[in-house]
Structure 1
Amino acid sequence: MPEELSIPQDFSLNTGGSGKVTNNWLLALAEDDRAIKKRRKDMIKVSCKYNIGIFVLSKEKIHFEREDSLLNDQNSIYTSFSECAPIVLKSERELQIKFPRSMKRVARLTLLRDLQRNMISNEFYTNKDMDIEKGTIIIADFDMTKWPALSNVNKQMKGLTMNAGRYDAVCTNGAGSKQEQKYYDTYATILLPDVFILQNDKRLFGKSDESKITVGNDMFHFNKRLMKTRFHKQNNFTDEERLQEETRQRRIALFKNMGSSHQDGIEPVRSCFGGMTIYKARSYLEPKCRYQINHDILTKRDKATIMRFSNIKDKRPCEHVLLHECLREQLEDFRIGISRHLVALWTGNDHRGAFLQ
Structure 2
Amino acid sequence: MITNHEKISQELFEPAHVDVSKSEKIAKPSLTFWQDSWLRVRKNKGAVISLIVTVLLIIMAFVGPLITPYAYDFQNTKHANLPPRIQGLENIHWLPFDGTLKNRQGVELHPYETRNVKEYYWFGTDGLGRDLFARVWKGTQISLLIAFFAALIDMLIGVTYGAISGYIGGKTDSIMQRIVEIIMGIPNLIVVVLMILVLKAGIIPIILALSITGWVSMSRVVRAQVLKYKNMEYVLAAKTLGASDSTIVFKHMIPNMFGVIIINTMFSIPNAIFFEAFLSFIGLGLQDPHASLGTLINDGFRGMIAFPYQMIIPAIMISLIMIAFNLIADGLRDALDPKMRD
TM bucket, shorter chain: under 0.3
User: Which structure's residues are more often strand, by fraction?
Assistant: 1
Structure (1 or 2) with the larger CA radius of gyration: 2
Q: Normalization by structure 1: what TM-score? A: 0.24
TM-score normalised per structure 2: 0.25
Q: Which has the higher helix share?
A: 2
